[in-house]
Chains A and B, each alone.
Chain A
């Protein structure tokens, strides 16, 4: 093991070692004695490329931890974080023996120069901020290889992101934390520093649970004249940045952008999810720019209305309509904590319309014309709607489709929807029952992969062996999975023959008249929940006997570790617990009450899937495995041709949907299994 003093391993020293290389005769060598020419020739060797991802998996196989090494005056003990810009270590200061965090930039990233500049800016920004709720930097230095690093206070309890699940049950504590954070941000603003990347992951908690604002890597000095800030296009993290931050000129940013982010964080810790969700950052940013944030109480109805008002005020799209300073936000949060009336007032619909019309003067005229046109369309729609109820649709369909869920709770997810029989269509009385019983949504947000969710095996209906305890389940057990294809790629379908079901309807649905080709991961069965008797609200309690467990694997079949599994209420409005996958991609959530849950998979904070109606039973572990599969596999599993599927959608309390015509004729040259999807009202 070399020490840091010896770690100038990349320096060349041909002067010291002029001996000719035994292999090639060249004389130029690195400090390590390796011949430069031989290192170059290695590039000519035959052999396939090894990607970074695969190599990292190979590195992961070595489970002996890294040995301590020296970086300046610090003994590096272990890595505690790795971001786009660099690595964060837990380290011991050599002389004081103090345990600190050391942040070190990794230079050879795509934007290495930019990363270095941001790194230096962070040190510069934080050095000017001395506040009890801003993470202090102790020392800025440079390593032997010329790369800067700095040491800072180690936040023992991790970030707000990591503590979100436990905080969610304590709204008052959330507000206390955020009031302090807002005061700290106000302080930074008063010193001329905009943070610009406030998010739960950047708010750390010290050993006393006090919040510390960190990561000023994107900070902008308000009075500074920094060329760099002009060349970057988008700052911050989608879901938490203000709409004006996306694509706007850096010079236009004001403290109101940080106020927006503070509101988004408050919203997230209270509601359990950010105001906007989406398949990719661009989509999320667009949503934030174009639509009003959902109301807090639409996701967490038990919360105080004043908190909803405060969040809404922060999340206004117009910066002028927000709190004018982080201090104003802090004041309102403190007033709420003291039981005094808050200053912010809810925006009433007339005011909202007036604001909208001011922002969109050209659209006002068009909207007026649209109203007239709309009246005509509605009358036509009514005629079509009643006609639809007379249609006798085909019997077999299960499809995974993109839907827009206007409730905002699970936007842009793709639902595995069963087409109801004619009697169960909206307007025919049994629709509510249908809504409760027949929807299983497999959501999927990446365009390049599909999701395979083990539901039930047709030959082995969903049963969990009684002898498997929650702790010793086998994540590799044989499962049959539903593969959900991404929306733009197509529709993966299995088929259920409703007409063939004899006798009273059971909760288990056998499906798929056509067996899947052997090389596909086709779902053949979908489990429905049992009719609910008794408890409708499931809770997590210590002695509760039910559990959900399984594994998460990526497209290459490699386990995904540290993915978040949220065990939510069926409507997704409450999160009962969040568990992470381990190094082998396994997870287990124990202590659940028997009942029906929604299970949402997040990888790196991004929602990948949300499985509705996951049933748990007492003393029977429920297995739910996630395989992210390339969508192309779905192309083999559908029969060609056009068919109709019913796609549910919900707007507030209104439950509706539309018939979608799906043409899943495979496209021979592209491997896509859907060429066209058209929505048509019947």
Chain B
């Protein structure tokens, strides 16, 4: 299941076929390249574990239970041929994952857990759990208590998308020895022109104003590409990226607190 996408940086150039992770996973459900698809699914799950975790937490589970259930959920969808059994109406990864999670939690509440959940597979490394879960600022208690779990799931999902795109942008800058440039400019990515003081940035960075303008312009462009790439990994057709972004914006636009 491949999709068409304009080649990077070459609007006039030939169009190339790209495979998103989600399209790869869906194609694997038809029996093609199963291992690749498993890897892609695992990668997507690792990326979006926070929305899963926050949803489970919002269902009034303790942190420890939420950890176990999240780990269990991943093991289930990775080992139990989730896709073959899942609703194959080709929903987006986000919505399909949420539906599966809801079903999983219904079943889980009826089970007595005889084995330590996730004990046979450490899907998200325990170190990462400890460091990220305990300092989980994106799910303030107040919000978790006041929002329905589905809405919290979407909010966390939207935040994860943005954070990942920014993290990738930051690493690209870091790998070129330009971390300071990222740090100075990343908070201005969405600023309107009249909000910006290029003179201040110029002084802070020790660069000419024109150079700052160019760098900020390109950083915005690159961020946009990375964000769209992040989103495109979770939809079957890159043409759906705009719709997915709009959905997440709508989720954020409501009253969140």
- Name A's B-contacting residues (CB within 8 A): 1-2, 7, 9-15, 18, 23-28, 30-45, 47-56, 58-62, 64-67, 69, 78-79, 82, 87, 106-108, 111-113, 116, 142, 145-146, 148, 231
The verdict on B115 contacting chain A, using a C-beta distance below 8 Å, is no
Give 20 A-B pairs besides A15-B143, A36-B162, A39-B166 with Cβ atoms closer than 8 angstroms.
A7-B183, A15-B140, A25-B253, A30-B162, A34-B190, A38-B190, A42-B220, A44-B242, A48-B11, A50-B8, A52-B8, A64-B207, A65-B177, A78-B177, A79-B175, A106-B175, A107-B171, A112-B43, A113-B42, A231-B35
Chain A residues within 8 Å of B206, by CB? 64
Give, as a whole number of angstroms, the nearest-CB distance from A102 to chain B. Answer: 12
Contact check, B223 vs A40: say whether CB atoms are below 8 A apart: no
Residues of chain A contacted by B108 (CB below 8 angstroms)? none
Per the bound structure, the CA–CA distance linking A60 and B8 in Å amounts to 19
Q: Are A50 and B252 in contact (CB under 8 A)?
A: no
Given contacts A40-B161, A82-B175, whether A28 and B252 have CB atoms under 8 Å apart is: yes
Asked whether A113 and B43 contact (CB < 8 A) given A40-B249, A49-B225, A55-B172, the answer is yes
**Cβ 8 A contact of A26, one of B39, B184, B256:** B256
Chain B 117-128 per-residue mask, 1 if CB under 8 angstroms from chain A, else 0: 000000001011
Count chain B residues whose beta carbon lies closer than 8 angstroms to a beta carbon of A. 79
Residue from B6, B187, B231 in contact with A43 in the complex, judged by beta carbons closer than 8 Å = B231
Min CB distance A83 to B, Å, is 10
Chain B residues with Cβ under 8 A from A58's Cβ? Answer: 214-215, 218
- A-B contact list, 6 entries, CB within 8 Å: A28-B159, A28-B256, A31-B137, A62-B181, A64-B205, A107-B167
Kindly count the residue-residue contacts between A and B in the assembled complex, taking CB atoms under 8 Å apart. Answer: 201
Q: A35-B190, A44-B245, A66-B177 are in contact. Are A12 and B163 (CB under 8 A)?
A: yes
Which residues from B are CB-within-8-Å of A43? 224, 227-228, 231, 241, 245
A188 to B162, CA, bound (A): 43
Complex CA distance for A32 and B186, rounded to whole angstroms: 8
Minimal beta-carbon separation of B257 from chain A (angstroms): 6
Which of B155, B172, B174, B211 has the most C-beta atoms of chain A within 10 angstroms of its own C-beta? B174
The answer to whether A39 and B171 touch across the interface, beta carbons within 8 angstroms, is no
Cα distance A10–B205 when bound, in Å?
Answer: 21
Q: Which of B167, B190, B207, B256 contacts A39 (CB 8 A)?
A: B190
Contacts of B221 in A (CB 8 A): 47-50, 55
The distance in angstroms between the C-alpha atoms of A562 and B98, with both chains bound, is 48
B107 at the interface (CB under 8 A from A): no
Q: Compute how far the CA of A18 lies from the CA of B143 in the bound complex, rounded to whole angstroms.
A: 11
Contact partner, B215, options A14, A34, A62, A69, Cβ 8 Å: A62
List B contacts of A116 (CB < 8 A): 125
CB atoms of A50 and B132 under 8 A apart: no
B199 at the interface (CB under 8 A from A): no
8 closest A-B pairs by CB = A51-B8, A15-B140, A38-B190, A50-B221, A12-B138, A32-B187, A43-B227, A51-B9
Interface-centre pick from A43, A51, A60, A113 (highest chain B CB count, 10 A)? A43
| Cβ-defined partner of B225 (8 Å) among A50, A87, A111, A146 | A50
Residue of A39, A87, A116 with most chain B CB atoms under a 10 A cut-off: A39
When distances are taken between beta carbons in the complex, the residues of chain A under 8 Å from B128 are 146
List CB contacts (< 8 Å) of B1-21 with chain A: 6, 8-9, 11
B217-257 contacts to A (CB < 8 Å): 218-225, 227-228, 231, 241-242, 245-246, 248-249, 252-253, 255-257
B189 to chain A, nearest CB (A): 7
Complex: how many Å from CA A350 to CA B67? 65
Assembly CA distance A290 to B218 (angstroms): 47
Task: Write the nearest CB–CB distance from A667 to chain B, whole angstroms.
Answer: 15
Q: B94 at the A/B interface (Cβ < 8 Å)? A: no
B112 within 8 A of A: no
Closest A residue to B227 by beta carbon equals A43
**B57 sits at the interface (CB 8 A):** no
- Checking B35, B187, B228 against A33 with a beta-carbon cut-off of 8 angstroms, the contacting residue is B187
Name the distance in Å between B81's Cβ and chain A's nearest Cβ: 18
Mark interface residues in B126-142 (1 if CB within 8 Å of A CB, else 0). 01100110010110101
Least CB separation from B45: chain A residue: A113
Given contacts A1-B183, A41-B249, A34 and B214 within 8 Å (CB-CB): no
Residues of A within 8 A of B178 (CB): 59, 62, 66
Q: How far is the CA of A238 from the CA of B256 in the complex (A)?
A: 53
Contacts of A38 in B (CB 8 A): 190
Residues of the B chain whose Cβ atoms lie less than 8 Å from the Cβ of A69: 179-180
A10-B249 contact in complex given A48-B11, A60-B176, A146-B128, C-beta closer than 8 Å: no
- Of chain B, the residue at the smallest CB distance from A3 is B183
Per the bound structure, the CA–CA distance linking A79 and B175 in Å amounts to: 8
- Do the beta carbons of A13 and B137 come within 8 Å of each other? yes
> Does the CB pair B167–A108 fall under 8 Å?
yes
Least CB distance from A449 to B in Å reads 14
For A76, give the chain B residue with the smallest CB separation.
B179
Question: In the assembly, what is the distance between CA of A10 and CA of B135, in Å?
Answer: 12
Contacts of B227 in A (CB 8 A): 39-40, 42-43
A14 with B140: CB separation less than 8 A: yes
Give the docked Cα–Cα distance between A62 and B162 (Å).
26
| Alpha-carbon separation in the docked complex, A410 to B22 (Å) | 43
Docked complex Cα distance between A39 and B166 (Å): 9
> How many angstroms between the C-alpha atoms of A58 and B211 in the bound complex?
10
B257 in contact with A40 (CB, 8 Å): no
CB distance from A243 to the nearest CB of B (A): 23
B174 in contact with A106 (CB, 8 Å): yes
A32 neighbours in B (Cβ, 8 Å)? 186-187
- Give every chain A residue within 8 A of B39 (Cβ-Cβ): 231
B residues near A35, Cβ cutoff 8 Å: 190
Q: Let me know if B59 is at the binding interface, CB within 8 A.
A: no
Known: A40-B158, A40-B249. A23 touches B138 (CB 8 A): no
- A26 touching B166 in the complex, CB below 8 Å, given contacts A40-B245, A43-B224: no
Given contacts A15-B140, A82-B175, contact A49 B46 (CB under 8 A): no
Chain A residue at minimal CB-CB distance from B168: A108
How far apart sit A45 and B161, CA to CA, in the bound complex (Å)?
16
Which residues of B sit under 8 angstroms from A113, Cβ to Cβ?
42-43, 46
Quick one: which of B8, B143, B161 contacts A49, CB cutoff 8 A?
Answer: B8
Task: For A78, list chain B residues within 8 Å (CB).
Answer: 177
Q: Is the CB of A37 within 8 A of B140?
A: no
Checking A12, A37, A41, A65 against B137 with a beta-carbon cut-off of 8 angstroms, the contacting residue is: A12
Q: Which residue of B lies closest to A18 (CB)?
A: B257
Q: Which residues of B contact A59 (CB under 8 A)?
A: 172-173, 176, 178, 181, 215
What distance in Å separates the Cβ of A148 from its nearest Cβ neighbour in chain B?
Answer: 8
Chain B CB count within 10 A is highest, among A2, A47, A50, A61, for A50
Kindly state the separation between the CA atoms of A54 and B155 in the bound complex, as whole angstroms.
32
Residues of B within 8 A of A107 (CB): 167, 171
Q: Nearest-CB distance from A290 to chain B (Å)?
A: 26
Q: Chain B residues with Cβ under 8 A from A23's Cβ?
A: 190, 192
Chain A residues, Cβ within 8 Å of B190: 23, 34-35, 38-39, 41-42
Task: Please report the C-alpha to C-alpha distance between residue A32 and residue B245 in the assembled complex, in whole angstroms.
Answer: 21
Report the minimal beta-carbon distance from A460 to chain B, rounded to whole angstroms.
Answer: 33
* Residues on the A chain within 8 Å of B176, using CB: 56, 59-60
Would A39 and B189 count as touching, CB distance under 8 A? yes
Contacting A1 at CB < 8 Å: which of B174, B180, B207, B249?
Answer: B180
Which residue of B is nearest A48, CB measured? B11
For A52, give the chain B residue with the smallest CB separation: B172
> For residue A66, which residues in chain B have a CB less than 8 angstroms away from its CB?
177-180
- Are the C-beta atoms of B257 and A27 separated by less than 8 Å? yes
A-chain residues with CB within 8 Å of residue B246 when the two chains form the complex: 44
